[in-house]
Amino acid sequence: MSIPTSAVTGWRHLFSPGEAGAPVLLMLHGTGGNEHEIASLAAELQPGAGVLAPRGQVQEHGMLRWFRRHGEGLFDVDDVIARATDLAVFLDAAREHYGLGNRPVIAVGFSNGANIALAAAILHPQTLDRVIAFSGMYPFGDRETSTDLSGTRLLVLNGESDPMAPLASVRTLVTALHQNGADVKQVLRPGGHGIAHADLDAARLWLEEASR
């Protein structure tokens, strides 16, 4: 069944087709960022890739986000689930609207953007099965997930002393992904929240392997 065009045109976003046949990077910004800022990262990761960068539709004190939260690290899990589904619908519609065909789509998210990418991949692996998560964490609080993620590949990059994405939550994420059958590569580095040069190097290498 065809998805309404409004599912794409009604959602503020950037799109650049990139080179024919190249992967498309779904760029997902963090809290307080926007689609323009995160889109510029794509060329550093994979020159020639297509870029699809939607804008988070939640605002918190004037800052753009992907889903609501009750406090730092306390996510509104029902909203996470609903917004992840919205993102999956947008991605399916964008595939059709932009004629992406079977081109690989790889989500690249930072912080809150990583969390929504992880949520969408866990809940909708038929739509999104490749994720690079910079400074992300387990997005479902104390709820367990039981989706078949065989065939899903993820790169999870975190700082060991990140108060915004605590290691306990990162461990919960990686364990849940493994238990559900995903192929997960985890990279831990010294330091806190952010994207370090070592993270970018690891992401470039992973993208080369994932694109084969």
Is 207 buried (19+), middle (13-18) or exposed (0-12) by CB count in 10 A? buried
Taking a C-beta distance cutoff of 8 angstroms, is the pair 24, 106 a contact? yes
Distance CA 185, CA 174 (A): 9
Among this protein's residues, is 162 annotated catalytic?
Answer: yes
Taking a C-beta distance cutoff of 8 angstroms, is the pair 131, 118 a contact? yes
Which residue, chain included where needed, has tokens 């990279």?
Answer: 187
HSE value, Cβ hemisphere, 13 Å, CA-based, for 80: 26
Task: Name the catalytic one among 86, 129, 162, 199.
Answer: 162
Taking a C-beta distance cutoff of 8 angstroms, is the pair 157, 199 a contact? yes
Taking a C-beta distance cutoff of 8 angstroms, is the pair 23, 49 a contact? yes
Task: Name the catalytic one among 13, 29, 86, 111.
Answer: 111
Among this protein's residues, is 6 annotated catalytic?
Answer: no
Among this protein's residues, is 97 annotated catalytic?
Answer: no
Task: Name the catalytic one among 92, 97, 183, 193.
Answer: 193
Active-site residue set: 111, 162, 193
